[in-house]
């Protein structure tokens, strides 16, 4: 690893200060109040940056254990107080010295800091990866310096399909590279899935410290897990700050993208809300439609006969009034789990039709606001926000890999898939039992498959408190049919409903939806993919020149990743490919078929050793018709970060 140094070459000093800690001259009282709310381990690290004194890590109490969702390293209250008292003195002195540039560790010092903060959890091999996210090296999400000329880039128009978080970061990267582009989106605004999913209760379930662009500070958030409206506002705010507005074509649907070999360009056909058709010429297409753009409404007999309002959670009618209504919610996955508690109070009665119970993790912060003091600390104390982010993401990301591993010698009847997974299961069951001892309810809500096999949900007790209400019923008998007035289950019981809500998820294995993409020789991408989509690193596809997917097949790290982090990796990689292409003088690039096949095969082999393919997990949105999980990523995120840091020309055919 090169000697750590800040990323001043790629951003302005003001941007860096915004990211790493804005100078402050606040009163003693403000600083004291902030320190009282701050995460103590992150505070400890910031003290080292403020003083340059690594000895503080020997003198003061340090974290004991890194636990998911705990931002205090399992430290005792007296120990935390000792650190807070010392931190106050350091912060006041730092202020009085005029907030000089923070001290930066060399590699040995960084190792010491990592060992203390994570209690040894971040091993040596992860140092570069973590240092980049801490912004201690220039090997960050920005990628290597471009090698093509500005004139080459200015003559390389790109169409980005989709204006969600992925399309936004693609736009930011293209703009900075001086590449002309338009972002086309069928919705009336930016935000993608966060614009479409407006159902009550919708919020992120990855901590916002991680669900944030790495080049933006982490103090944006009023809650640890922000609601949909706040995330949508954030995405719009970022898009404005980076000047994307002028590049947007909204209420415009891409129907077809066709590669033309002679001109080495794509013809992207669109249709506007008024039926107006256009054709955009592009040298490259970035397909940022995501995996959650195509809602599924299952084919249940009689569903079309239902007389009342009937809609998917991703198609929420803003005008709907649920007050006093009898509501049938079909599905208890991530969306249903958030929706039902949010509507129970105002509805007359909610019936939740659950086919498979889903695991949920204890998370007392799930609905909690972030105090003003904690936000002040994130905004001002040098590097505090970066270390807080690490505390938030590490236990979820590569730190959680062992829990997801299938041990071939493990057999407890399929309840778990290995010792770590079993221990996790026991913890989750204990959490559920803390809220109910009702055996009938327990039988319905405790899953009989290993945890993490489907996406783990977040819970602070809200779900079981909601199910315990008299006006909420959890129904586990299979649905037999729907008629004009309600839902009939297989046991013959008919339950009347005024409103039918489908919380039934998305068709992730066919992410292109209605878009036709034709590559070399007119090859149709949806046909080529069929039920088993593939792409090299989830980004590039053989036979489809200058096409770059974001959140493509083989990229969904179900339980650990922030999709924003992954999108940054993919945007960096796509830009690297474009730069490599232009610098080579060639007109088009495609990944070698053998390289792509090897990536796909290796990834699927890894996934076969993990919980996602466990035989007890029959229904999950990422399984395809043959039981494979083509959209998932089974490797380490650190490897994905490294492999997407820059393209290897040996992986590509140029033409
Ligand atoms: P989902 O997790 O796929 O859940 C769909 C639900 O519908 C499941 O309970 C499923 O049951 C049920 N279902 C499907 N077909 C059915 C049928 N024919 N009969 C009865 N039930 C049926 O979809 P989702 O809840 O929309 O979440 C999808 C993904 O979106 C999540 O994993 C997550 O990545 C993302 N998401 C994130 C957030 C967040 O960050 N807060 C919120 C919502 C969604 P089975 O389990 O038996 O298949």
User: What's the confidence (pLDDT) of residue 11?
Assistant: 55
Give the mean pLDDT of 32-41.
98
502-256-316 Cα angle (round to 5): 20
User: What's the confidence (pLDDT) of residue 643?
Assistant: 95
Q: How far apart are CA 568 and CA 214, in angstroms?
A: 8
Decide: 355 in ligand 1 pocket, CB within 6 A: yes
User: What's the confidence (pLDDT) of residue 67?
Assistant: 83
Q: How far apart are CA 147 and CA 80, in angstroms?
A: 49
User: What's the confidence (pLDDT) of residue 8?
Assistant: 34
User: What's the confidence (pLDDT) of residue 9?
Assistant: 39
Secondary structure (H, E, C), 341-379: HHHHCCCCEEEEECCCCCCEEECCCCCCECCHHHHHHHH
User: What's the confidence (pLDDT) of residue 70?
Assistant: 86
Decide: 333 in ligand 1 pocket, CB within 6 A: yes
pLDDT tens column, 93-140: 999 999 999 999 999 999 999 999 999 989 999 998 999 899 887 656
Q: What mean pLDDT is reported for the chain?
A: 94
pLDDT tens column, 344-391: 999 999 999 999 999 999 999 999 999 999 999 999 999 999 999 999
User: What's the confidence (pLDDT) of residue 2?
Assistant: 36
Query: Which ligand 1 atom is the nearest neighbour of the CA of 358?
Result: 46
Q: What is the pTM of this model?
A: 0.96
User: What's the confidence (pLDDT) of residue 532?
Assistant: 96
Q: What's the 204 CA to ligand 1 centre distance in angstroms?
A: 14
pLDDT band at 266 (very low <50, low <70, confident <90, very high): very high
Domains located in the chain, CATH noted: 16-140+372-393 (no CATH), 150-294+508-654 (3.50.50.60), 303-367+413-502 (3.50.50.60)
Q: How far apart are CA 655 and CA 264, in angstroms?
A: 9
Residue with tokens 């009938």: 440
Query: Which ligand 1 atom is the nearest neighbour of the CA of 314?
Result: 26
* Contact status, residue 399 vs residue 126, Cβ threshold 8 Å: no
pLDDT tens column, 397-411: 887 788 999 999 999
| Residue 588, pLDDT above cutoff 60 | yes
Decide: 363 in ligand 1 pocket, CB within 6 A: no
Nearest C-alpha to atom 37 of ligand 1 is from which residue? 334
Decide: 203 in ligand 1 pocket, CB within 6 A: yes
pLDDT tens column, 191-246: 999 999 999 999 999 999 999 999 899 899 999 999 999 999 999 999 999 999 99
């Amino acid at each position: 690893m090169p000697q750590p140094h800040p990323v001043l070459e790629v951003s302005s000093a003001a941007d860096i200060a915004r990211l790493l800690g804005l100078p402050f001259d606040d009163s003693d009282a403000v600083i004291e109040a902030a320190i009282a709310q701050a995460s103590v381990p992150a505070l400890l690290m910031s003290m080292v940056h403020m003083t340059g004194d690594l000895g503080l890590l020997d003198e003061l109490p340090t974290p004991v254990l890194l636990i998911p969702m705990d931002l205090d390293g399992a430290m005792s209250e007296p120990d935390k107080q000792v650190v807070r008292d010392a931190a106050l003195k350091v912060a006041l002195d730092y202020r009085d010295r005029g907030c000089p540039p923070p001290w930066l560790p060399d590699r040995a010092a960084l190792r010491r800091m990592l060992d203390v903060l994570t209690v040894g959890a971040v091993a040596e091999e992860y140092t570069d990866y973590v240092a980049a996210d801490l912004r201690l090296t220039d090997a960050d999400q920005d990628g290597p310096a471009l090698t093509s000329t500005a004139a080459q880039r200015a003559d390389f128009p790109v169409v980005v399909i989709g204006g969600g978080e992925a399309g936004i970061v693609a736009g930011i990267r293209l703009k900075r590279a001086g590449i002309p582009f338009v972002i086309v989106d069928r919705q009336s605004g930016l935000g993608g899935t966060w614009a479409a999913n407006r159902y009550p209760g919708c919020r992120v379930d990855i901590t916002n410290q991680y669900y944030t662009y790495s080049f933006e500070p982490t103090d944006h958030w009023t809650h640890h897990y922000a609601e949909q409206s706040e995330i949508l506002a954030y995405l719009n705010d970022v898009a404005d700050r980076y000047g994307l507005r002028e590049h947007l074509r909204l209420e415009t649907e891409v129907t077809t993208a066709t590669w033309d070999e002679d001109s080495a360009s794509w013809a992207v056909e669109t249709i506007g809300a008024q039926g107006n058709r256009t054709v955009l010429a592009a040298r490259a297409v970035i397909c940022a439609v995501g995996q959650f753009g195509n809602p599924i409404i299952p084919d249940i007999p009689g569903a079309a006969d239902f007389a009342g309002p009937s809609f998917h959670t991703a198609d929420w009618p803003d005008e709907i009034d649920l007050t006093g209504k009898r509501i049938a919610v079909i599905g208890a996955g991530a969306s249903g789990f958030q929706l039902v508690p949010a509507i129970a109070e105002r509805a007359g009665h909610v019936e939740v039709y659950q086919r498979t119970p889903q695991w949920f993790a204890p998370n007392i912060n799930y609905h909690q606001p972030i105090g003003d003091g904690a936000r002040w600390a994130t905004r001002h104390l040098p590097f505090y926000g970066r270390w807080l982010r690490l505390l938030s993401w590490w236990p979820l990301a590569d730190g959680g890999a062992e829990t997801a591993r299938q041990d071939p010698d493990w057999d407890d009847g399929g309840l778990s898939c290995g010792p770590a997974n079993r221990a996790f299961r026991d913890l989750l069951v204990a959490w559920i039992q803390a809220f109910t001892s009702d055996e009938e309810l327990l039988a319905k809500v405790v899953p009989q498959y290993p945890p993490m096999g489907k996406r783990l949900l977040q819970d602070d007790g809200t779900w079981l408190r909601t199910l315990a209400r008299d006006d909420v019923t959890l129904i586990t008998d299979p649905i037999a049919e729907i008629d004009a007035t309600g839902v009939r289950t297989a046991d013959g019981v008919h339950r009347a409903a005024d409103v039918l809500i489908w919380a039934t998820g998305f068709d992730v294995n066919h992410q292109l939806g209605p878009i036709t993409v034709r590559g070399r020789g007119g090859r149709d991408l949806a046909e080529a993919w069929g039920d088993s989509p593939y792409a090299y690193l989830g980004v590039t596809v053989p036979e489809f020149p200058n096409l770059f997917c974001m959140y493509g097949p083989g990229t969904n790290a179900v339980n650990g990743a922030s999709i924003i982090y992954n999108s940054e990796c993919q945007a960096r990689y796509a830009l690297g490919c474009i730069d490599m292409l232009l610098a080579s003088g060639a007109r088009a690039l495609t990944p070698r078929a053998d390289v792509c096949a090897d990536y796909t095969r290796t990834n699927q082999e890894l996934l076969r050793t993990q919980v996602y393919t466990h035989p007890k997990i029959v229904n999950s949105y990422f399984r395809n018709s043959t039981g494979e999980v083509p959209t998932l990523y089974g490797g380490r995120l650190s490897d994905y970060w490294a492999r997407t840091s820059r393209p290897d020309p040996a992986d590509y055919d140029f033409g």
